[in-house]
Chains A and B, each alone.
Chain A
Amino acid sequence: MINNKTAFRHELISAWCGPAFLITFVVFWGIIGQNLPNPSPALSATELAARYAENLSAIRLGFIVSLITVVLYLPWTALLSAQMERIEGGFPVMAKLQLLGGGLTVMVVSFSAMFWVAAAFRPEQSPEITRMLSDLGWLCIDLQYACTTLQMIAAALVGLADKRSVPLFPRWVCYVTIWCGLSFLPASFTGVLKTGPFAWDGLLSYYIPYACWLGWFLIASTCMIKEVNRRKLVAETAENSSLVTSHA
């Protein structure tokens, strides 16, 4: 068994991967990748190809780096599962579900960024091909939110069942988590609509769901970091007092 100090170091690093994911996602996927605002599904193929041509280096840089940094979501998810397992005890089903949901979320986000790198790979190709690849990316990330919803609901359910005096997630966080997980539902309309607030560039299918996902992620990260530090403090205090008694 690895010693306590190493274990806590791994845990803290994993917890801080949360804020790291958040920042790199916003900077590379959002800003550099030209997703703020993101391209409208109503753009013609020529307009979209022109957008790619005008921002080629930024788009390539943004999404190629995103593909690397998106995996910061994984150690964070793994830590959350470990924390949930302590709460669930013998049969940690929800912890495993969260793990799966988090892992698949990374795949969904990853694939969509990869499609956009592919779209930018040969700018001289026919605009329809560029648009098809861009569409693939958006539909991939916007229609496949359910694994993330499950991840969040699993975490919330365990959070609600946590009966310790200082729970991992305060109760209000659990309810906000459930609501945020469900806020993705309107994004299903991106599969059909090309204009309006429910298209993939709209308020209700893009800005609100993504803000909810990242907002939850930030709140949960804060709770998780605090929990690791709490346990670390308890372990250190116990170790110090046993040192004292052994010298007495």
Chain B
Amino acid sequence: MNSTVKTDQGHRAEEGIWIFIFADMCMFGIFFITFMYERLKSPALYIESQLQLNQALGMINTLVLLISSWFVVLATRALHRGRPKYSSLFLGLAFFCGAVFVVNKVIEYSEKIEQGISILTNDFFMFYYVLTGIHLAHVLGGMVVLFVLMRKLKNSSFQKTGMSTVEGGAIYWHMVDLLWILIFPLIYFLR
């Protein structure tokens, strides 16, 4: 390899994506703050309900999303270094991780429903279903984004000019990961 290879600076995603990301995070921020405020009203109920959550599945999901974010980082790096096939491969692996997350969530929700716990059971579980549910919708959206990027990468002109689009999609996926990194301890761990 050429010793003057560029650093991981990459190309910037356009500013509009960041506006979208920040707005989305502000919405989740409001969710978090609302959750914490409501929790202070009936802490015993929240703690007792939290005990019924499947921490193991939550942990696995956290690790899975972190690994998927890592794959996305490697994908943008690969594209920047002119290796679009590897970029596609890493995006595919990230997509697969996303699928694992979704399957886990379905298992987790099914388990809860079988135990008779629904969104109406109490305030804690309302937040549980709503927060993780809206996050899940973001994961599904992110998987669509990853898929579209993988398809676009088959086009040789996009391979040269599409860096900023790929960066944009990558940043969205990192946000989805970041949100789960905060949602998970908030709901599953904090007493």
Contacts and interface: CB of A to CB of B under 8 A. Distances in A.
A and B touch in the complex (CB under 8 A): yes
Given A196-B123, A198-B126, A204 B30 contact: yes
Nearest to A202: B34
Contact of B34 (A171, A193, A203): A203
A185 B31 CA distance: 13
A208 B130 CA distance: 16
A30 interface: no
B20 A175 contact: yes
Nearest to B133: A189
Interface string B32-45: 00100010000000
A208 B24 CA distance: 12
Contacts of B120: 192-193
Q: What band does the interface of chain A fall in when counting residues whose beta carbon is under 8 Å from B?
A: 20 to 34
Given A183-B27, A189-B130, A193-B126, A175 B34 contact: no
Contact of A198 (B19, B20, B130, B137): B130
Nearest to B17: A175
B15 interface: yes
Nearest to A175: B16
Given A172-B15, A196-B38, A203-B30, A178 B20 contact: yes
A198 B38 CA distance: 13
A37 B129 CA distance: 26
Chain A interface main SS type: helix
The size bracket of the interface on B is 20 to 34
Contacts of B27: 183, 204, 208
B148 interface: no
A179 interface: yes
Contact of B119 (A171, A172, A192, A204): A192
Contacts of A176: 19-20, 23
Contact of A172 (B16, B34, B38, B134): B16
Q: Which 3 A-B pairs have the closest CB atoms?
A: A175-B16, A175-B20, A171-B16
Interface of A: 171-172, 174-176, 178-179, 183, 185-186, 189, 192-193, 195-198, 203-204, 208
7 contacts: A171-B15, A186-B134, A193-B119, A196-B38, A203-B34, A204-B30, A208-B27
Given A176-B20, A179-B19, 19 more contacts: A171-B14, A172-B16, A174-B16, A175-B16, A175-B19, A175-B20, A179-B23, A192-B120, A193-B119, A196-B123, A196-B126, A197-B38, A198-B130, A203-B30, A203-B34, A204-B27, A204-B30, A204-B31, A208-B30
